[in-house]
Chain A
Amino acid sequence: MKRVYVNEKWCLACHLCEYNCAFANSGQKDMAKALKNVKINPMVRLEDNGKISFAVSCRHCTDPICVKSCITGALTNDGGIIRVNKDKCVGCLTCILVCPYGAVVPAPDGSVIQKCELCTNNASGEPACVKGCPNGAIVFEER
């Protein structure tokens, strides 16, 4: 299955992935309209210590412990893509407790969680973080 892979060697710490993610999941057509004066809450997050940087988002594990630990069945493995059903989620954060990558984050209001679904749940088509990466540091491919 095609997944998002990150090579920190080429990450420029420009943080565009975060903004493109936030935009792609905003449901808006215009980025300025979507993100102006908004504190973004993207599914992909950059770790950046000033020297090294890299983007982290859901790895879509083949043996996803978050799905197995979810107390409501809101997290499911949909043919390899790990999805969250926000209608079922009660925000217990057990997924945050178990995700070894720290790739699951609470939604802005904290009542449910949110995570990368490889932009299959929005209008971006292919993952927006990959599309917008200026230096090929994030790729979407079969490995």
Chain B
Amino acid sequence: MPINYNVPEYAVVRDPDRCIACRVCERQCANEVHSYDPELNKMRSDETKCVNCHRCVALCPTHALKIVKNPDTFRINGLWDNETISDIYRQADTGGALLSSMGNPKKYPIYWDKILINASQVTNPSIDPLREPMETLTFLGKHPHTIERGENGEIKTDNLPPQLKLNVPIMFSAMSYGAISYNAHESLARAARELGTYYNTGEGGLHEDFYKYGPNTIVQVASGRFGVHKDYLNAGAAIEIKIGQGAKPGIGGHLTGAKIVGDISRTRMIPEGTEAISPAPHHDIYSIEDLRQLVYSLKEATDYKKPVIVKIAAVHNVAAIASGIARSGADIIAIDGFRGGTGAAPKRIRDNVGIPIELALAAVDERLRQEKIRNSVSIVAGGGIRNSADVLKAIALGADAVYIGTAALIALGCHLCRTCQTGRCNWGIATQRPDLVKRLNPDVGCGRLVNLVSAWQHEIMEMMGGMGINSIESLRGNRLMLRGVGLNEKELEILGIKHAGE
């Protein structure tokens, strides 16, 4: 047997005084880290298999378990750190590209944390959301350029292109059925309906059971075109063309044949066991004018009743691309920052391709205003939105609404162990194994998502009130409400904000 050059990343620490050998850890670990030794009546662990998903820690009734970073280390080296070395060992073992999942975990600057929010003092009053109306209702979609009037002068209200109506400017971003479980999808769908917002099918099609959530569903059309047909397009409230995603700009997707079983194969409309490969580009979109054709063929297919979203990854010339999309007939542009999550991505791409959403968003909003077309398209920002303050800052930078994916999954129990690609998600989210899928009870999941977004909405209202703003549209693009700290001139210029103190 060849040498295993790597050391386990984590150590399982079990407090012998607390462990009652109830074996919950053993039963709950799909990675089979824990095992029971009947002779000694003791639990044992195989740390090489531990991915630190914390399922065992969370369920241990006596809190006997801790997962800690394995203190064992290679010789300390500023350039060649443990991960770098381990990656090389792994590739030397396998000869393959490294696969990982969820968002870019590297230490790139997080601009959200270098932006501060304003509040009213003396010269104008802050507003108490508990006493005064505080509005977060948001519409997404195009706006006509002229007001039309009927013969007796009344304003015509029927010339408005299709819109999305959000009670709170937070939507659940695209996660396909297949990448995540049936129960995860049901949780998202039900939460979206309860919250008066939208969830997104991702590229895996729409399970027949979920058509009933159509009014709160965004159906996605991606390069693989899985599960796309006329009823599917018409089932949702909007259609999203996925050009790219923040976690892996420029490359496609790959759902292994192992996951293409039963309902998933039926929903994706591909035979069981076949590899579901989404090409890197849409092979009918090699240029912006092709995009325009797809946008309009989708509008034709849906009788111009559904707004069309075009989702792109935040890349270097995102502003120019966005302006092209705005002129392609799209109603909404979704920009996905490089911290956006995924069920599986080549590690190097996840960690090195794309740009931060904060800069991309600011650049796009400003560019569209310069081109005087900001009002004819809505902007949705996603990829690394972690809390209500991020949402508020995104809107003040110019977003109409945000997409949250990772945050939603965390609410459902995800512990960011970043091994979705193995299909052994102990939290029943990124898996299709029935025994694991059932661990996510949609009653519980939906409730937690509703709690999360409601809590964020409440916090957003509090912060808006502090600024003396009582309606979210007065915050949109209101960059004077933001100040930077520890940012250089260039960053401030791109973000279009002043430095704190100015």
CB within 8 Å of B: which residues of A? Answer: 9-10, 12-16, 19-20, 23, 31-32, 35-38, 51, 132, 134-137
Contacts and interface: CB of A to CB of B under 8 A. Distances in A.
A55 B3 CA distance: 46
Contacts of A13: 27
B70 to A, nearest CB: 26
B28 to A, nearest CB: 6
B489 interface: no
Nearest to A12: B439
B411 to A, nearest CB: 16
A9 B24 contact: no
Nearest to A9: B438
Given A15-B27, A16-B22, A36-B17, 14 more contacts: A14-B28, A16-B61, A20-B61, A31-B62, A32-B62, A32-B64, A35-B20, A35-B62, A51-B435, A132-B61, A135-B440, A135-B441, A135-B444, A136-B444
Interface residues of B, number: 22
Contacts of A15: 22-24, 27
Nearest to A50: B435
Interface string B12-50: 000001111011100110000000000001000000000
Contacts of A136: 441, 443-444
Contacts of B444: 135-136
A31 B61 contact: yes
B443 A14 contact: no
B28 A10 contact: no
Given A15-B22, A31-B20, A35-B20, A10 B61 contact: no
Contacts of A134: 58-59
Interface string B81-122: 000000000000000000000000000000000000000000
B41 A37 contact: yes
Contacts of A14: 24, 27-28, 59
Interface string B426-446: 000000000100111101100
16 contacts: A9-B438, A10-B441, A12-B28, A16-B61, A19-B20, A23-B61, A32-B17, A32-B20, A35-B22, A35-B62, A36-B17, A37-B41, A38-B20, A51-B435, A135-B444, A136-B443
Contacts of B58: 134
A12 B59 CA distance: 12
A54 to B, nearest CB: 12
A32 B15 CA distance: 10
A16 B441 contact: no
B24 A32 contact: no
Contacts of B18: 32
A134 B28 CA distance: 11
A134 B475 CA distance: 40
Nearest to A35: B20
Contacts of A38: 20
Contacts of B41: 37
Contacts of B59: 14, 16, 134
Contacts of B443: 136
Nearest to A134: B59
A10 B441 CA distance: 6
Contacts of B24: 14-16, 19
A19 B62 CA distance: 10
A10 B19 CA distance: 26
A137 B61 contact: no
B288 to A, nearest CB: 48
Given A15-B24, A16-B24, A10 B438 contact: yes
A132 B61 CA distance: 9
Contacts of A16: 22, 24, 59, 61
Candidate in B20, B59, B438 with the most chain A CB atoms within 10 angstroms: B20
Nearest to B18: A32
B61 A19 contact: yes
Contacts of B441: 10, 135-137
A57 B18 CA distance: 27
Nearest to B15: A32
A135 B55 CA distance: 13
A128 to B, nearest CB: 10
B172 to A, nearest CB: 21
A23 to B, nearest CB: 8
Most chain B C-beta atoms within 10 Å of own C-beta, residue among A20, A31, A51, A137: A31
Contacts of B440: 135
A31 B17 CA distance: 11
A81 to B, nearest CB: 26
A123 to B, nearest CB: 16
Nearest to A132: B61
